[in-house]
Every structure is written in structure tokens, then in C-alpha cells.
Homo-oligomer: A and B are copies of this chain.
Amino acid sequence: MEKNIEISLLFDFYGQLLKEGQQKCVTLYYNDDLSLSEISDQLGITRQGVLDSIKRAEKRLYAFEEKLGLLERFQKTERGLYKIESLAQSLNDRYDKTTVQQIIETAKSLHE
């Protein structure tokens, strides 16, 4: 099973909605980078139990994002903020009204 970076992001958003056992398995697997066998030893459940728990958790995390789309919304804002930062940095080198306007437009496009 390949470790999926998107799961860590989704877990950061929706992890608190998972059952406690699922939260533990996902944290140990994705954040602490333990293997399934190590988690199995640590929690005293079978390796298959750990795998099932992680698989169920992943499915629920994707379902939350499918319904709410908050990670996507957040990532769009992040990209905009990096763009604003880079535009503002360029103003330090050279003042330019078009760049100022781009900052304003980007900020406007990101808030309600």
C-alpha cells in the first residue's frame, strides 16, 4: 500500500470526525510513518485489522471531501496567498501599478 500524501491533508481537515481507533491507525501510519506490522504490535490488533481500519478511514476522509470540498477550497486560497506574496515581493524590487492591481484582484477573488 502506497502512502498517500493527500490522506494526511484530508486527515488534518476531517480527522476529528473519524472513530478514535481509525484516528490512531491513520496517525501512526501517515504521520509517524510506522509500518502496518509496527502498528499492529503497538495497538495489539492484527495487521489485517490495522489495514481494514486505515482503508475505512481513507474512504470516509474522501467522502467528507466529496461532500464538503473544504480541502480544495483551502488549497485554492493557499495558492492565491503564495501568488500575492510573490507579487508583493516583486514590488520590493520595482514599483508597478499593474502588480498592485493584481494583488487586489487576487485578494478579492479569494474572499466572499
Query: Residues of A at under 8 Å CB distance from B?
Result: 13-14, 16-17, 64, 67-68, 70, 73-74, 77-78, 81-82, 84-85, 88-89, 91-92, 95, 97, 100-101, 103-104, 107-108, 110-112
- Chain B residues, Cβ within 8 Å of A14: 68
Q: A103 vs B104: C-alpha distance in the bound complex, in angstroms? A: 11
The interface residues of chain A, by DSSP majority, are classed as helix
Question: Nearest chain-B residue to A64 (Cβ)?
Answer: B17
Given the contacts A70-B13, A81-B107, A111-B82, A92 and B97 also touching, CB distance less than 8 Å? yes
Tell me which of B70, B100, B110, B111 contacts A92 (CB under 8 A).
B100
- Chain B residues, Cβ within 8 Å of A74: 73-74
